[in-house]
Amino acid sequence: MFETDTGGAQIQLRALTKQFPGQAEPAVDSVDLDIPAGELVAFVGPSGCGKTTTMKMINRLVEPTSGEIRIGGEDVLALPPDELRRHIGYVIQQIGLFPHLTIGENVGLVPKLLGWDRPKAEARTEDLLALVNLEPGEYRDRYPRQLSGGQQQRVGVARALAADPPVMLMDEPFGATDPITREHLQNEFLKLQKDLRKTIIFVTHDFEEAIKLGDRIAVLRNQSHIAQYDTPANILANPADDYVASFIGADATLKRLALMTVDEVPTEGPPDPALPQVETGTSLREALDLMVANGTDRCSSPAGVLSYTALCASIGREEVAAGDR
Ligand SMILES: Nc1ncnc2c1ncn2[C@@H]1O[C@H](COP(=O)(O)OP(=O)(O)OP(=O)(O)O)[C@@H](O)[C@H]1O
Ligand SMILES: [Mg+2]
């Protein structure tokens, strides 16, 4: 199911609408959205704006009132819903593990439904539990109630990845985890996605998380109306309006610096061992932090000397750098 050139399949929403019975207004009103194959799109928007409803229409846990959904060009509304759902990984907002199945059985459920042989399904389960930092020997045979909320959520992520689906819908998948676990999960997930290139819709309340994980971010208003849909760098540099700016917060420049690395800034002269040292791949935000901490306006990377002025220029802030002198 679903034509793909990469690991993922393109998703297209056209005038997608959901009117729940007895409600004055549609929960989702005429959404148009194209998600390229292999990209992760973060949905950000206030509680009740229609994020979950939009997602649930894609795997048809909620039937659209009108509109179109295509995945890899195929008309989703013409496919059998059960079959469809086996090819879409889904991490639901409330975790939703089966309480009477062990952790291993929960993760292995879809591969089993898809008819994978047992050794293959079991090996996959072990790999995925290890990936989400749950030691398989310790957790595989436990039941969901014997895990913390954050651990259950990680099992939910492993379960969604189990059958290697081209499309993943993830509804605040890391919401119940502490900041350290969350950062670990984000980093592991980014590494994984680099290889897998699945098409992912990822709901988060955390704009930093959207910036870190998203190839693009869709900032949503009520009824899933799209306020802006663009790359994190473009949204940070040019928020469409005050509504979008309110999600970014006051430190847009620092957030932009966090998205770029020292390798993107032209250097001045060869590496200087007398200056504070940054490694290849260090973010500009970290480089700036290092300069401030050392009371200097330069640092050195393996490529050469990096100045505060060059750093500002790289994000189009030459005038700020000059004006600060
Ligand atoms: N089954 C339903 N029947 C009636 N109204 C519903 C139903 N499900 C959701 N809604 C309403 O549709 C709107 C969108 O809900 P949805 O769950 O999509 O929001 P959300 O953006 O995911 O919010 P949150 O961030 O709180 O999870 C809300 O006003 C909600 O009350
Ligand atoms: Mg929701």
- What pLDDT score does 262 carry? 94
Q: DSSP class of residue 295?
A: T
CATH number of 11-251: 3.40.50.300
**Given the CA of residue 18, which atom of ligand 1 is nearest to it?**
12
Closest CA to 19 of 224, 171, 201: 224
- What pLDDT score does 321 carry? 45
Report mean pLDDT in 10-residue bins for the chain, 325 residues.
Answer: 75 97 95 96 95 95 96 94 90 83 93 89 92 92 91 89 89 84 85 88 92 96 97 93 91 86 93 95 94 95 94 73 44
Distance of CA 56 from the midpoint of ligand 1 (Å): 11
Cβ of 20 less than 6 Å from ligand 1: yes
153-184 per-residue burial string, b: 16 or more CB within 10 A, e: under 16 = bbbbbbbbbbbebbbbbbbbbbbbbeeebbeb
Closest CA to 111 of 134, 128, 86, 132: 86
This prediction's pTM = 0.85
- What pLDDT score does 181 carry? 81
Pinpoint the residues of the chain covered by CATH 3.40.50.300. Answer: 11-251
Distance of CA 93 from the midpoint of ligand 1 (Å): 12
**Given the CA of residue 46, which atom of ligand 1 is nearest to it?**
25
Q: What is the spatial distance between Cα 3 and Cα 245, in angstroms, rounded to a whole number?
A: 37
**Pairing mode, strands 88-91 and 226-230:** unpaired
From 52, 54, 95, 223, give the residue whose CB has the most ligand 1 atoms within 8 Å, as the site to mutate. 52
Cβ-contact 197, 8 below 8 angstroms = yes
- What pLDDT score does 93 carry? 73
Cβ-contact 67, 76 below 8 angstroms = no
Cβ-contact 193, 33 below 8 angstroms = no
- What pLDDT score does 319 carry? 47
- What pLDDT score does 325 carry? 40
